[in-house]
């Protein structure tokens, strides 16, 4: 049953004009008992009061203070970065899960090798120039781990708090795979620009960093 609900989950990335769509999906899911995933709540602060109202109405009905019309299998999942605009009442009434980066370079790098795409054997060993790919992939995971570790030292690490995420490493790793697989010689200048200047550098707004 749980696997079936997961496969039919409706996912919405919140942003401008997505509020009415999300509310309609929640209303329909409550009737049929499916799951709803609202991603990136922190990106839609103007809709957070409405989300709070929706959750309060569901909580009142489930506690017997109104007619409960929700299916017993209905689930509402929310994802958000730490944000002051996220409703505190929703946090208090729901089950909370956090995803934090491992502490230390070694633990961080081990975590990177255990997640996509590096955890996929066909990706890790399937490159036409597997030796070059594995060497540079190791350097890229260490680079990513160092960036995250520096965030733990406040202004001593970065002048501003840059939000580097696992998705930065994932897209960079896929680009690395593509470039090394396509060209006979490693295009270091292109990789440095795409990964360093675009993927990671695009998050850096402080010139001193």
Which residues are within 8 A (CB) of 195 and not within 5 positions of it... i.e. 6 or more apart? Answer: 140, 172, 175, 176
User: Does position 206 have pLDDT exceeding 70, yes or no?
Assistant: yes
Q: How far apart are CA 113 and CA 173, in angstroms?
A: 11
Domains of the chain, each with CATH number or no CATH: 2-93 (3.40.50.300), 105-203 (1.10.8.720)
Q: How far apart are CA 77 and CA 197, in angstroms?
A: 34
Distances (CA, A) of 207 to 158, 168, 169, 201, 204: 11, 20, 22, 10, 8
- The confidence score (pLDDT) of residue 68 equals 57
User: What pLDDT digit, counting tens, does each position of 101-149 carry?
Assistant: 677 889 999 989 988 899 999 999 999 898 999 999 999 999 999 998 8
Q: What's the pTM? A: 0.60
């Amino acid at each position: 049953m749980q696997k079936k609900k997961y496969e039919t989950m409706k996912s919405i990335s919140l942003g401008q004009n997505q509020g009415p769509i999300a509310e309609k999906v929640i209303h329909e899911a409550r009737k049929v008992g499916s799951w709803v995933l609202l991603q990136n709540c922190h990106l839609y602060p103007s809709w957070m009061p409405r989300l709070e109202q929706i959750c309060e109405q569901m909580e009142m009905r489930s506690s017997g203070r109104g007619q409960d019309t929700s299916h017993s299998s209905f689930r509402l999942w929310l994802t958000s970065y730490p944000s002051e605009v996220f409703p505190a009442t929703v946090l208090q009434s729901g089950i909370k899960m956090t995803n934090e980066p491992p502490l230390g370079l070694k633990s961080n790098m081990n975590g990177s090798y255990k997640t996509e795409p590096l955890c996929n054997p066909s990706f890790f060993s399937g490159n036409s120039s597997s030796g070059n790919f594995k060497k540079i992939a190791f350097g890229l995971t260490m680079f990513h781990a160092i960036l995250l570790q520096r965030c733990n030292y406040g202004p001593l690490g970065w002048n501003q708090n840059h939000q580097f995420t696992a998705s930065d490493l994932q897209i960079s790793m896929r680009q690395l795979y593509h470039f090394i697989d396509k060209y006979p010689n490693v295009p270091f200048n292109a990789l440095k620009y795409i990964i360093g200047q675009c993927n990671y550098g695009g998050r850096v707004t402080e010139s001193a960093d």
